[in-house]
Amino acid sequence: MQILLYILKRILQTIPLLIIVSLISFFIIRLSPVDPLAELRLNPSVSKETLQAETQRLGLDRPIIVQYGKWAKSFVKGDLGVTSNGEKVSTKLAERIPNTLLLTIIVIFLSWVVGIPLGIVAAVNWKTPFDRILTVLTSIGMAIPSFFFAVLLLIFAVKTGWFPVGGLTSSNFADMSFSQKFLDITHHLILPVTVLFTLSLAGLQRQMRGNLLDVLDSDYVKFARAKGISEFKVIFKHALRNAVNPLITLLGFEFAGLLSGAALTEYVFQYPGLGRLILEAVLKSDINLVMASLMMGAVMLIAGNLIADILLIITDPRIRNGS
Amino acid sequence: MIKDLIKQLWKDKFARIALVVLGIIYFALFFADFIAPYTKDFSDRSMAYVPPSKIFTIDENGKLSKPYTYNYKREFDENNLKIIYGLDRTKKHYVKFFAQGEPYKFLGLIPMKRHFITTDGDGRLFLLGADINGRDVFSRILFGGRISMTIGFLALFVLFPIGLLYGGIAGYFGGKTDMIMMRFAEAVMSIPSFYLLIILASVLPSGMTSVQRFMLIVIILALIGWAGFARVVRGMVLSVKNQEFVQAAKSIGASHFRIITKHILPQTTSFVIVAMTLSVPSYILSESGLSFLGLGIQQPDASWGNMLKEAQEYTNIIYRPWLLTPGFLIFVAVLAFNLIGDTIRDILDPKSKVR
């Protein structure tokens, strides 16, 4: 019950946060000298009525505060407007967000499954050659610019022909059976996942290693060892739980970092995700689309932090029973 | 304290290598005008995409000779329908050191003509090949590096005072001020940073001079990072603001501003140094990412990021791999900064075991 209340409180707290985010984004975009309807005006397939309706909806002839009010009102109602091509923003987002989520969730899952054990092994074998090699490798992993790595992998894909060059699905995707579809998507995902996985694995392994080393230094671990508990039990039963907690807090940040890193990776691999959408929207100065995808990015980030917080309550009794 | 830090850094093997590498890079960038055989804008359209110049030290008779190079000439291979680059062996161009070449202004002030390495007037010495406009990639890497390797520092110098003051004020006054200021900072942090970066960059009007654009990109980079920094500063301020020295300052009637800037913020110095070294690489990466997308530094100016823009085409990366060199340089620079950052963390916090 207490947990539920806490979760409810945290969810309510995100509302003012989202309002400020939308205010900031709105004013940044409105500061730009670009006419938000320029593309729409030039597009012959967009009718005069649509244009009129958009001007009305955005209240472009009104002061900026009123404009924001109008935008916020329709946003709450779920009406995100149309893109400069006349498509609905909401359908466009619904098409792209799952792809970005798919990419980031796979990456987070893989980097936890691989990064945590590697961190543990490195901490247990502190200062051995194995640990040093891992440290060198993670240093390299953290220093490669994501887009550069992506470009290098693309060369590899083009030269060997082992991997598709960009996109998420093959051209004949619609005719495939379910299992073929699954394999096709997996095949397309390998390279972008590799890029983001390398980046996020390196950071996570280092964090885990550092945390575990800290915990292994603490008194209660020394006490457990002194009692004669086996090293295996000391690490997995006593030390590990405390070492993982800070990582859960980091999960939210990791998610944020991945969203940003994904934007460039998506761009290089022509991956149909939110990051590439926002980039295309920005290059075309498609205001509705930019605004909506910015908000969605923020919602995803805040949701990520929220999930991390909730996980933390579950794993850490001190927070649950404390404040 | 700073002196001690550098001394200890020098003792560490990896950090020493990193310092030397960065030292070489910054030295080369500082003397870029002199070291580069060509100016930033020198272009020879007939030399588009030529491979790196081959330098020979043994002449056709098998005798040792002064180093010389041949120009490339473009030929169209009709059988395979592609352009091939052959050596024009009719004329030798000797490589000359400290000789006269393209005129330039050293550091933008002193007019000079001497270059560290160059060749005679109609010879072309492209050590790392040429780009689509027939510009020397090696020279542009040097000039582009000036932008890529300084923009992060400049952004930090803009961001740190803002973050310090913001976090300082929020932490010091507490209560409602703190609540409102921190909600705002959290909101900024809730926008995925790269999305925010793209959008801010796209707001920039076109038709600015390159200096204006450079400055605005510095400011944009600073706008991304201040919030997270301010939050940590606030936390530190909260922990010191009730100590005796602050109360003492209050009791002798020091103003709030004075207490924050003279008494509280100096307590955060070591944190600031660590945070600065740790965040330089991320700004280098942000700038190069932004320029890679075409939203950062614009042609004809060079930056490592926008030079890599050409690597977006498959044909370029496969047939003209020398265009990828800036990417390796970014990697090396970031790696070096990270190594130094890790070592500084180990030095300042003896409990930390980054390495």
pLDDT digits (tens, 9 = 90+) for A109-128: 999 999 999 999 998 888 88
ipTM, two decimals, is 0.84
Q: Which of A135, A261, A275 sits opposite B355 (nearest CB)?
A: A135
- The pTM of the full predicted model, rounded to 2 decimals, is 0.86
Interchain contact, A158 vs B331, CB within 8 Å: no
pLDDT digits (tens, 9 = 90+) for B84-120: 777 777 777 777 777 777 777 777 777 777 777 777 7
Cis peptide bond upstream of B67, omega within 30: no
d(CA A163, CA A187) in angstroms, rounded, equals 7
Q: What is the pLDDT of residue B23?
A: 93
The torsion angles phi and psi of B65, rounded to 5 degrees, stand at -140, 165
CA of B148, closest CA in chain A: separation in Å? 13
- Find which of B176, B180, B199, B206 to mutate to test the A interface (most A CBs within 10 Å of its CB): B199
Query: Which residue in chain B has the smallest CA separation from A18?
Result: B187
Identify whether the C-beta of residue A83 lies closer than 8 Å to the C-beta of residue A289.
yes
Q: Which two tokens stand for residue B350?
A: 């003896």
Burial class (CB in 10 A: 0-12, 13-18, 19+), A18: middle
Phi-psi sector, A166: left (phi>0), alpha (psi -120 to 50), beta: left
Give the confidence band of A39 by pLDDT, cuts at 50, 70, 90.
low
Query: Which residue in chain B has the smallest CA separation from A26?
Result: B199
Which residues, in sequence order, are bridge partners of residue B219?
none
Closest CA to B285 of A143, A278, A48: A143
Q: For chain B, what is the mean pLDDT?
A: 83
pLDDT digits (tens, 9 = 90+) for A295-311: 888 888 888 888 888 88
d(CA B295, CA B275) in angstroms, rounded, equals 27
Task: Answer whether A24 touches B (CB < 8 Å).
Answer: yes
Ranked by mean pLDDT, which of A5-9, A161-165, B115-119, B163-167 comes out on top?
A: B163-167
Strand B64-77 and strand B110-119: the pairing is unpaired
Q: Which of B184, B308, B339 sits opposite A148 (nearest CB)?
A: B308
Interchain contact, A268 vs B312, CB within 8 Å: yes
- Find which of A282, A294, A301 to mutate to test the B interface (most B CBs within 10 Å of its CB): A282
**Which CA distances in Å does A247 have to A205, A240, A276, A312, B54?**
10, 11, 28, 9, 52
Q: What is the pLDDT of residue B166?
A: 93
**Residues B348-351: contacts with CB under 8 Å, at least 24 apart:** B348/B5, B348/B270, B348/B273, B348/B274, B351/A214, B351/A217
Question: CA torsion angle for A52, A58, A63, A65 (degrees, to 10)?
Answer: 170
Query: Which residue in chain B has the smallest CA separation from A150?
Result: B312
Q: Which range has the worst mean pLDDT, A218-232, B68-82, B224-238?
A: B68-82
- Amino acid identity at B202: S
Higher pLDDT, B220 or B50: B220
Interchain contact, A263 vs B292, CB within 8 Å: no
Interchain contact, A135 vs B195, CB within 8 Å: no
What is the percent of chain A with per-residue pLDDT over 90, rounded to a whole number?
6
CA of B305, closest CA in chain A: separation in Å? 9
pLDDT digits (tens, 9 = 90+) for B172-203: 998 899 989 988 898 888 888 888 888 888 77
- Find which of A97, A125, A131, A151 to mutate to test the B interface (most B CBs within 10 Å of its CB): A151
Higher pLDDT, A63 or A207: A207
Q: What is the pLDDT of residue A322?
A: 54
Closest CA to A290 of A302, A277, A301: A277
Q: What is the pLDDT of residue A194?
A: 92
Identify whether the C-beta of residue A243 lies closer than 8 Å to the C-beta of residue A214.
yes
Q: For chain A, what is the mean pLDDT?
A: 82
Find residues 209-268 of chain A whose CB sits inside 8 Å of chain B: 210, 213-214, 217, 256, 259-261, 263-264, 267-268
Say yes or no to pLDDT of A57 above 80: no
Higher pLDDT, A190 or A60: A190
d(CA A220, CA A215) in angstroms, rounded, equals 9
Interchain contact, B194 vs A264, CB within 8 Å: yes
Q: What is the pLDDT of residue B225?
A: 83
Q: Which two tokens stand for residue A27?
A: 């004013």
Interchain contact, A25 vs B199, CB within 8 Å: yes
Say yes or no to pLDDT of B293 above 80: yes
What domains appear along chain B, each with residue ranges and CATH number?
36-134 (no CATH), 148-352 (1.10.3720.10)
Question: What residues of A are in contact with residue B289 (Cβ under 8 Å)?
Answer: 145-147, 264
Identify whether the C-beta of residue A195 lies closer than 8 Å to the C-beta of residue A150.
yes
Say yes or no to pLDDT of B74 above 60: yes
CA of B122, closest CA in chain A: separation in Å? 35
Closest CA to B86 of B66, B106, B72: B72
Give the confidence band of A61 by pLDDT, cuts at 50, 70, 90.
low
Closest CA to B160 of B237, B287, B268, B236: B268
Say yes or no to pLDDT of A323 above 60: no
Question: What residues of A are in contact with residue B312 (Cβ under 8 Å)?
Answer: 151, 268
- Find which of A147, A215, A216 to mutate to test the B interface (most B CBs within 10 Å of its CB): A147
Interchain contact, B191 vs A31, CB within 8 Å: no
Give the confidence band of B50 by pLDDT, cuts at 50, 70, 90.
confident
